[in-house]
């Protein structure tokens, strides 16, 4: 697929960093554009993202297990105890992953196709699941509000209302999220990471820091 196109709404040039991007946001008119076949289609408009304090921004680079990645998009959520960002990162081999930043606690995870995921109503804290030889325990159930998108995403994602997320932890280095944005739940498996281990570059600057 081509990496250059024009915004169907305002004509501004759109450049894709990632060839497999399904959705992007036009920087100029804030239209949400979805790639269907060879054309870009406007599906909605995203409101201004609320102020947030993630030190990561689009084009931030980092390393995860010796694999370099770039942040090319994000989804912003808010819930009762604050907000968090799911940064869409793409690795040099084209693989798509997620770097979450919740109050400066970071985790990297990847979408893992999995059968038999539990329905939302059945979830409770302390429940355990075994996926890919790991034992995961539900630690937190969050009802979050989608607040906006930015940049390139690997799927269509906009105008969600309230979304249920389940965080799961393990006794070792393992972390999982169950995402109930869509009728079919999605499983993301990964690990919590320390800021220093990611060796992030091209970060946002904070006044006084």
Contacts with other proteins by CB under 8 A lie at 27, 30, 48-53, 55, 57-59, 80-83, 103-105, 107, 125, 137, 139-140, 150, 169-173, 175, 192, 195, 203-209
Q: Judged by CB, which is closer to other proteins: 61, or 169?
A: 169
Q: In whole angstroms, how close is the CB of 183 to other proteins at the nearest point?
A: 26
How many other C-beta atoms lie within 10 A of the C-beta of residue 71?
27
Residue 193's nearest CA partner among 96, 63, 89 is: 63
C-alpha neighbours within 13 Å on the C-beta side of residue 99? 30
How many other C-beta atoms lie within 10 A of the C-beta of residue 57?
16
Q: Judged by CB, which is closer to other proteins: 79, or 91?
A: 79
Q: In whole angstroms, how close is the CB of 190 to other proteins at the nearest point?
A: 11
Residue 114's nearest CA partner among 192, 180, 185, 190 is: 185
Q: In whole angstroms, how close is the CB of 82 to other proteins at the nearest point?
A: 6
Q: Judged by CB, which is closer to other proteins: 3, or 128?
A: 128
Q: Judged by CB, which is closer to other proteins: 48, or 93?
A: 48
Q: In whole angstroms, how close is the CB of 116 to other proteins at the nearest point?
A: 23
Residue 162's nearest CA partner among 143, 184, 136 is: 143
Q: Judged by CB, which is closer to other proteins: 9, or 139?
A: 139
178: part of which helix (H) or strand (E)? strand 175-179
Q: In whole angstroms, how close is the CB of 43 to other proteins at the nearest point?
A: 18
């Amino acid at each position: 697929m081509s990496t250059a196109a024009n915004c169907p709404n305002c004509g501004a040039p759109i450049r894709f960093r990632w060839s497999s991007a399904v959705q992007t946001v036009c920087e100029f008119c804030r239209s949400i554009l979805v790639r269907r076949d060879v054309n870009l289609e406007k599906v909605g408009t995203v409101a201004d993202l609320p102020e947030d304090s993630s030190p990561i921004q689009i084009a931030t680079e980092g390393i995860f297990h010796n694999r370099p990645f770039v942040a090319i998009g994000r989804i912003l959520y808010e819930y009762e105890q604050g907000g968090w960002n799911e940064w869409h990162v793409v690795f040099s081999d084209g693989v798509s992953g997620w770097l979450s930043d919740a109050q400066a606690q970071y985790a990297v995870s990847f979408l893992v196709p999995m059968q038999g995921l539990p329905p939302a109503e059945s979830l409770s804290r302390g429940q355990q699941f075994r996926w890919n030889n790991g034992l995961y325990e539900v630690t937190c159930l969050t009802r979050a509000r989608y607040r906006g998108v930015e940049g390139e995403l690997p799927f269509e994602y906009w105008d969600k209302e309230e979304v249920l997320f389940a965080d799961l932890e393990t006794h070792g280095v393992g972390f999982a999220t169950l995402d109930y944005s869509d009728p079919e739940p999605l499983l993301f498996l990964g690990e919590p990471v320390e800021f220093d281990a990611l060796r992030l570059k091209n970060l946002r600057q904070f006044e006084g820091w």
